[in-house]
Structure 1
C-alpha cells in the first residue's frame, strides 16, 4: 500500500520525457544512468522526476517508482519482445561503444579464488605484452646501430 496521498492518474499528464524518466527510475536506474540512456543531463532527469513526484503527490523517488510498477506496469503487462531491461541495454551499449563498464561498476560474482586467478592472468598477460614491446624496441635500436 502506498503511504503518500496521490491524485488519480486520469487528472495527471506527464510529458513523454517525464514518463520515460519515471519508467527508468522504476527499473532501478540512477539519475546518471537515466541521463546517459536518454542523452540529457542528470539534473534534467532529477527535474523531470521531481515534477512527476509533485504532480502525483509523492515525497520520494522510491514511492513514485513503486507506484509506477504497481499501476502502470501491471496494466501494460510485461513486453514479450523485451528480453533485456533498459539498464542491461544501456550497459551493453556502453561496453560496446567505450569498452568500459558503467560508473560504479557491476557486481562481481566471482569467488576469491576466481578473482586471484583472474588477476594472475591479467598480470601474466601484461608482463608478456611489456616484454614483447621492450624486445621490439631494443631490436629496432640494434638494427639502427648496425646501419650506422
Structure 2
C-alpha cells in the first residue's frame, strides 16, 4: 500500500494528533487542545505510527501533514471548539513572544523558546537563589542547635 492509501486508514483523532505533532506540540499540549488525556494522545499516535509503518511520531506527523485535507474523513469530525483550539494555537505560534527577564525560569512550554542570554541569566539566578536557600537553612539549623543546647 502506498502512504496516501495507508493514511486513509487512520481515524480522525489519529490524524488530528499527528497534525498537531507536525506543528511541534507535545502530547500534553495536544491533550489540552483536544480535551483528552495525554496517555490517550500517546495511544492514538502509537497506533497511527504502527498503521503507517514509520519509526517515530515526527515522521508520522510529517506524512499526515503532507497528505493535506484531501483525505476522506473516517470518524466523527472534530467539534468547532477543537478546530478553533487548533487554529488558536497555530496563530499563537506565529505571534512574536515577548519574553522579559523574570526571577524564576518558566515551567513547561516549547523547547528553546528563550535566547541563550536569557537562559544563562535564568540559570545564574536559579543558582543564586539556591545558594541563598542553603545558607538560610544552615543558619536556621545552627540557630536551632544553639537555642536547644
Specify the structure having the higher radius of gyration (Cα): 1
**TM-score (normalizing by structure 2):** 0.48
Of structures 1 and 2, the one with the larger relative CO (CA 8 A, separation 6+) is 2
